[in-house]
Amino acid sequence: MVDYKEFNKPDLLSEFISELDQDHGITFYVYQIKRKFEVHVAYWMQGRKSLNVVNAYRKLAHLDPIEEPQNIIVTWTWVSDHMEGNAFDGCIMKDKECIWDLKADTNDNHIDDYKEVALLAKKKGLISWIDYPAGHEMHWDRTHYSIPKKENTVYNAPITLDNIKKITIELGR
């Protein structure tokens, strides 16, 4: 379980999840907020490097290894809002399982739950996939929500070449 206090607007996050449950009948689980540098680098390597290299970075970040079918791009940016607590990832839950079907309608109201979640996020002033046009790399990410850049309390610095070199040296590459 993640600590909502990792998000730079924890009261907004609590209100958002509560409203989804009480007013929309959607159980929403936040599975990641703040992300360590090493974890983000490991995620960024996925789909861009060989499985051996990806798993070496995942090991350094204390993440479990993945198999070849999982070696796909999972983040589009070096500068992640997760690194400073300005974003969270979450999923629709049913029977204590994450539902990854983007057309899921767990509350039986004939509206895709992920669309319902995105519309409420927008109403609450958060950015989600619905704010990006079809074809934009963020449009496919139905589980990512963030504070608009102008409201970020801290804007994280880009990952530097020096930090990448440090990780590469630690990996013995």
* pLDDT tops 60 at residue 156: no
**159 pLDDT exceeds 60?**
no
97-99 vs 87-94, strand pairing mode: antiparallel
pLDDT in tens, 135-151: 666 656 778 899 987 65
| Cα–Cα distance for residue pair 27/106, rounded to 1 Å | 9
On the CB side of 71, CA atoms within 13 Å amount to 17
**Residue 11's pLDDT is what?**
95
3-state secondary structure of 98: strand
Give me the mean pLDDT over the 39-50 stretch: 94
Using 50, 70 and 90 to split pLDDT, how confident is the model at 77? confident
| CA distances, 153 to each of 14, 33, 40, 41, 148 (Å) | 18, 15, 20, 22, 10
Residue 154's pLDDT band (cuts 50, 70, 90): very low
Write the pLDDT tens digit of every residue in 100-130.
Answer: 898 999 999 999 999 999 999 999 999 887 7
Structural domains of the chain ordered from first start: 4-35+80-171 (3.30.1380.10)
pTM score:
0.80
